[in-house]
Amino acid sequence: MAFNHGALDATLAAAAGDDAALLRELRAAFIESAARQLDLLKRARCDGNWHVAAMRLKGLAASFNAEDLLQAAEIALHAAPGEPMAIREVEGVLNRFSRSQARDPNRI
């Protein structure tokens, strides 16, 4: 899956305006929230918990226009609880986003 964070960046920039501190805070909140849902996916042992975590992740991705995360969440949504491939997809997207932010934390 190619990593495209342009729409996410545009959404964050629109919300933060010219406030660089707010932009960093929004990025951190987005990553933290997505990581929390990934943790819940990893710990889910039943269909209900897995589905709730995948739906929350999908909602977060849709709210911030994070297409790659939305696709990964959709894969998780249709997978069985604990499906390693689905977890790897979500982890991969979050890792790529985190690495891109670490390289350039002031990027818009």
Q: Encode pLDDT of 45-103 as tens digits.
A: 999 999 999 999 999 999 888 999 999 999 999 999 999 999 999 999 999 888 876 66
- Residue 72 domain-assigned? yes
94 domain residue, yes or no: yes
Residue 17 placed within a domain: no
With contact defined as beta carbons under 8 Å apart, do 23 and 12 qualify?
yes
pLDDT at res. 3: 43
Q: How many helices (H) and strands (E) does the chain have?
A: 5, 0
Query: Is residue 13 in some structural domain?
Result: no
Residue 27 pLDDT grade (very low, low, confident, very high; cuts 50, 70, 90):
confident
Number of domains the chain contains:
1
**Contact assessment for residue 26 and residue 107, using Cβ atoms and an 8 Å cutoff:** no
pTM exceeds cut of 0.75: yes
Q: Residue 104 has what pLDDT? A: 60
Residue at token pair 């949504």 = 77
- Give the per-residue pLDDT at 16: 67
Which is more confident, 107 or 24? 24
Question: Per the domain annotation, does 52 fall within a domain?
Answer: yes
| 45 part of a folded domain | yes
Higher per-residue pLDDT: 3 or 31: 31
| Domain containing residue 65 | 24-103
Would you say 54 and 73 are in contact if contact means Cβ atoms under 8 Å apart? yes
| Single-letter code of the amino acid located at 96 | R
- Answer whether residue 3 is part of any domain: no
Written as one letter, the residue type at 85 is M
Between 29 and 103, where is the model more confident? 29
Answer whether residue 36 is part of any domain: yes
- The residue count of the chain comes to 108
**95-108 core/surface letters (b: 16 or more CB in 10 A; e: else):** ebbeeebeeeeeee
